Structure 1
């Protein structure tokens, strides 16, 4: 009786912990998005310098990651040669810096709800690039699903009250750069057996991003900031914002490490709907019925895509287990035959 109680207690504890990780990730992701919007929007904090904001995040994150790895030794660094760093981490850092720059820039022109709707195109971009780089096999049913997501997003864009072509281009650019980064991680790091957790990832990638962003910053934003003499650096606002961005990276690590990438996808869908509701009710963004109908179609497509990915993973795991069992059975058979042969030899002598 006691044993059964302990088991169910453990299961309940596991479920509650999973919900806690999901809750923390949704809260932090939500906070970072709304916070960035607040800082960059001309009607709110009115500091429309997305490259500078991204650079503040990267400087803060790389400093904290350095302290956690080199000083406090919380996480072990990955053994990485300078050749591997230049060929793998540098291109990933370049793509990450472009993705962050473009996505943060979009907050100046678009509503939070519409940005979330456009982000639904991420699986489309990742799958298309995966097929292009021969990391994914082309399947006509998956492609049809990708087309349905794209149609849904197109309808949502058609119904957008605050449609801004430049903002849409920036957000779509961010999606393409982020999708390319994810595919490149698979090609350049995962295939070589290197996996970076968020702290080691920030330790290697964040300084690289900082270096890349300093070039457009010097050309685009530095002259503007020099002219804005009225601006004083608000340590509370930017410090809290950077801390939230760093905490979000850790939350991703916890969520994927303790649950699964699929849980994160499902949590992402919940977060998107919450952001749309928040954007409409609190920030007073206009969300039209056509907007919602289009996003609803895209959302169903993304849901189906995640479901089919889970089924494929389950089938792969089952195959792996079956192969392992076959291997073990084969090994036992060989051992038994060797034993039998040994016994025969003994009885003959």
Structure 2
């Protein structure tokens, strides 16, 4: 996993963009009870509950939304910082992003199938009508873009600071909007143009103020954003009618990403990562993938516990805390100009997510 995001920068698996929320606007999509309706809801197959497995209203109240949000923020931040710690040559020095992404996806492939067998977290699978044709025409191409976004994002980790990467990721919703506009899925308005301009100006200012700017890393991160944005638009277009929360999505996309990335390893990193595994240690590798997988589990509960506005604000808080954490834990340098630019970008991002046009 993730982007938002394999570590799914996720998670890069952007929660408000994958689990029952429109990836173009960030607004919550209508909840649906049967496959075939529009949107990608996150309800369980057997009840009106939002939590996995058809939880009742009484069950939902057992975990306070604030605790779920705190857990998600902690896991989301940990994934990104942990990846940096593993890949960075000045830390654990395991500079093999393609191998690390492949391992994460292989771990997620096994993990989602274990959850499907032994828990109710994957009950959403019962509502997905997957056919061979749908897999080849929809899942495979989206998985390929997912794979590319994860690989390029982790390649950027090698040379960019975590703080700067987070600032660049603020441009992702703009890229989604522009791609949607190009394909006629969204109409630009005067207010949207102003918001896009504010986010673009903020990100550009933050980039100009970066003291450790690396051209190659910048290009890798831009490519990651382009592939991730394209993937989100393709989900909106190709997977309409399928109810897929983050875990169900991972169930289908993780094997595709793992296979594609595995085919890339011989041409990009060769045998070197396999020779360096002993130095890294299995505990680090497994725990790193485990944290990324845990983020996807937390995402399912987060979607059911919060509104789209709360998710947006939680994402903004996470980004701010992550930037602060990278400064204290990894020694990242953030200039005053970057603070100024990123503040503008975040304001534009919140305006974009709450825009009703």
TM class, shorter-length: 0.7 to 0.9
Contact 2:163 2:322 in 1 (8 A): yes
Shift of 1:215: 2.2
CA distance 1:185–1:108, shift in 2 (3 Å): same
Alignment of 1:23 with 2:73, yes or no, is no
Structure 1 alignment gaps of length 5 or more: 1-9, 313-349
Aligned residues: 297
CA distance 1:160–1:61, shift in 2 (3 Å): same
Shift of 1:225: 3.3
Alignment of 1:295 with 2:342, yes or no, is yes
Contact 2:94 2:273 in 1 (8 A): no
Tell me which residue corresponds to 2:209: 159
Tell me which residue corresponds to 1:242: 289
Contact 2:153 2:224 in 1 (8 A): yes
Tell me which residue corresponds to 2:137: 87
Shift of 1:198: 2.1
CA distance 1:225–1:57, shift in 2 (3 Å): closer
CA distance in 1, matches of 2:132, 2:122: 20
Deviations 1:271-321 (A, max 9, x none): 111111112233221111111111111111112112224xx5xxxxxxxxx
Structure 2 alignment gaps of length 5 or more: 1-56
Residue number among 183, 195, 208 corresponding to 2:256 in the alignment = 208
Task: Please give the TM-score of this superposition, normalised by the length of structure 2.
Answer: 0.79
CA distance in 1, matches of 2:230, 2:276: 38
Deviations 1:61-111 (A, max 9, x none): 110111222465652322211000111100110011001101111111011
CA distance in 1, matches of 2:332, 2:82: 16
Tell me which residue corresponds to 1:188: 238
Shift of 1:15: 11
CA distance 1:15–1:204, shift in 2 (3 Å): closer
Alignment of 1:68 with 2:115, yes or no, is yes
CA distance in 1, matches of 2:221, 2:277: 30
Tell me which residue corresponds to 1:262: 309
Task: Please give the TM-score of this superposition, normalised by the length of structure 1.
Answer: 0.80
* Segment drifting more, 53-62 vs 248-257: 248-257
* Segment drifting more, 252-261 vs 181-190: 252-261
Which of the two has higher C-alpha Rg?
Answer: 1
Tell me which residue corresponds to 1:125: 175
CA distance 1:141–1:73, shift in 2 (3 Å): closer
Tell me which residue corresponds to 1:173: 223
CA distance in 1, matches of 2:156, 2:331: 18
Shift of 1:232: 3.9
